Amino acid sequence: MNAQLPAPLPKQLPQNFRRYLPFLLAMAIFMQMLDTTVLNTALPAMAADLNVSPLNMQSVIVSYALTLALLIPISGYLSGRFGTQKVFLAAIGLFSFGSLLCAVSPTLPMLVFSRIVQGIGGALLTPVARLALIKSYEKSELLRVLNFAIMPALMAPIMGPLVGGYVVEWVSWHWIFLINLPVGLLCFLAGWRYMPNYTEQDTHIDMPGILLFGGAAFFLTIGLEFLGSNNNALAFALLTLATGTALLFGYYRYAKTHNNAIYPLSLLSVRTFRVGLNGNLLSRLGISSIPLLLPLLLQVSFGYSPSEAGWIIAPMALAAMLTKPLMQKLLQTFGYRKILLANTVLVGVLMLSIALHGPDSPKWLLVLHFFILGGCNSIQFTSMNTITLADLRPYQNTSGNSLMAVNQQLAMGFGIALGSLILRFYQQNDAITHQNTQLAFQYTFITIGVLTILSSLVFRQLHRRDGNTLAHRD
């Protein structure tokens, strides 16, 4: 289980550390979020330069998300063992080095490897910076500084599609990774000067549990990646999926007999946590495929330029930011159960109705459609995340929060792999789509929309009063 570091009194920290530490976390979050969102609109141009199909570029995103999922659980242990400053500086170095490798990658396999290196740094970057911030402020100040630090996380998704589109058109896709280097250097110098180096003497990590759980996640994701890629890979995909399933069962048996497992099975005895976790995974399968599928639809099928696609997609993130202040009022009025049941269905309908658009659809209608979808996605994520943690006991918070974060990254990887798998299936099935790419996209959005609507059934297990104390908290 992730080690909890003892929080020093704020007066022990120099005043200039306290002044600049929130800026440091904000820069780290911004760099990571911008890198994630800027990539989506650039994928078709990258595919053309690497001489591969745009429909085969999902591995560039999946490899990064999977690396985050596998390594986030050990961030607390590494911080306690080596110190928050040392791990943060190493994370910045790895993230920047991985960005450089991405920029000079001549082939898709090399780019995927570079994204894994980048993901190793990214998995440690934000959690360690957030941990240092938590240890440096009293609880009365913590909410204010955390809200300040996460503001870039709201702005980066708005800027990302636009930056990615214009960078591809004005220079080349390589620069979407090279822009990380000056920001990374600034973060490194600031971390060297202002990041405290908190350590923990008594550190512990459940390595067998991490290897079993992480191995299961790895093999299941790789299996989905290869499933449907071509007939020759079918046997490998099935073997990989079977291996992942066996490892997951192995972790279940291991956790039953080890009270200190990284993710104790007692977490699943908390009904709201179990429902929230399952809902997070299942509903995100469709939602997580949207950042991959939409840029491909707009550029490959509709013929838009990267910058045009960026302007059409950016309002989704703007809607997500504008929806945040409304959440408490919505939850107070309707409750978690009604919100999640109705909103999950609405998100699914909005996704499948993307199939109604074509190259001649008015741009204002596309913007309005995606704006509403972005707002509903924000409602979905906020509601699911808060109800998942609502009823955990204090001693379960660390492992529960970690498992939820890993679950989200796995859902992103699974969702992208599943979305690309469905798209390839329709594209390769001439009996259904007759080699019509637009028709393949239409059937894909209908399929993931229906799957998302069906995932709403998970939230029927919630009770009417679940989450009331959260919704009515001042």
- Alpha-carbon distance 130 to 136, whole Å? 10
State whether residue 36 is helix, strand or coil.
helix
Q: Say if residue 411's pLDDT is above 60.
A: yes
190: pLDDT strictly greater than 50: yes
Per-residue confidence (pLDDT) for residue 4, from 0 to 100 = 41
Statement: residue 12 has pLDDT above 60: no
Residue 109 has pLDDT above 60, yes or no: yes
What share of the chain has pLDDT > 90, as a percent? 24
Q: What is the pLDDT of residues 84-95, one digit of tens each?
A: 889 999 999 999
Stretch 199-210: mean pLDDT, rounded?
79
434 in helix, strand or coil? coil
* CA–CA gap between residue 398 and residue 75 (Å, rounded): 12
Q: What is the mean pLDDT of residues 6-24?
A: 60
| Cβ neighbours around 138 below 10 Å, total | 10
The band of 257, judged by pLDDT with boundaries at 50, 70 and 90, is: confident
Looking at residue 5, what is its pLDDT?
39
For residue 261, is it left (φ>0), alpha (ψ between -120 and 50) or beta? Answer: beta
Residue 19 has pLDDT above 60, yes or no: yes
Distances (CA, A) of 278 to 72, 336, 342: 20, 15, 17
Per cent of the chain over pLDDT 70 is 89
- What pLDDT does 199 receive? 80
Using the predicted structure, report yes or no on whether residue 390 has a pLDDT greater than 90.
no
Q: For residue 278, give the nearest of 289, 267, 292, 262 by alpha carbon.
A: 267
**pLDDT number for residue 370:** 94
Buried b (16+ CB within 10 A) or exposed e, 275-287: bbbbbbbbbbbbb
Alpha helices by DSSP H, 363-396: 363-389
Segment 348-377, tens digit of pLDDT: 999 999 999 999 999 999 999 999 999 999
Q: At what angle do helices 397-428 and 271-287 cross, to 10 degrees?
A: 30
The pLDDT, as a whole number, for residue 420 is 86
Give Cα 162 to chain centroid, integer Å: 19
79-83, 136-140, 334-338, 452-456: range with lowest mean pLDDT? 136-140
The length of the chain, given as a count of residues: 474
**Where do runs of H (alpha helix) occur along 53-138?**
58-71, 75-82, 84-103, 108-136
The mean pLDDT of 450-464, rounded to a whole number, is 92
Neighbour tally for 146: CB within 10 Å: 15
Task: Label residue 165 by pLDDT band (50, 70, 90).
Answer: confident
For residue 278, give the H/E element and its range. helix 271-287
Task: Specify which of 69-78, 302-311, 366-375 reaches the highest per-range mean pLDDT.
Answer: 366-375
The answer, as to whether pTM is greater than 0.85, is: no
Mean pLDDT of the chain: 84
DSSP one-letter string for 281-332: HHHHHHHTTHHHHHHHIIIIIS---HHHHHHHHHHHHHHHHHHGGGHHHHHH
Closest CA to 386 of 469, 451, 458: 469
Instruction: Provide the pLDDT for residue 130.
Output: 76
The yes-or-no verdict on residue 9 having pLDDT over 70 is no
Averaged over 282-297, what is the pLDDT?
A: 89
Give the number of other CB atoms < 10 A from CB of residue 147.
Answer: 10
What pLDDT shows up at residue 94?
93
Residues 46 and 61: their CA atoms lie apart, in Å, by 13
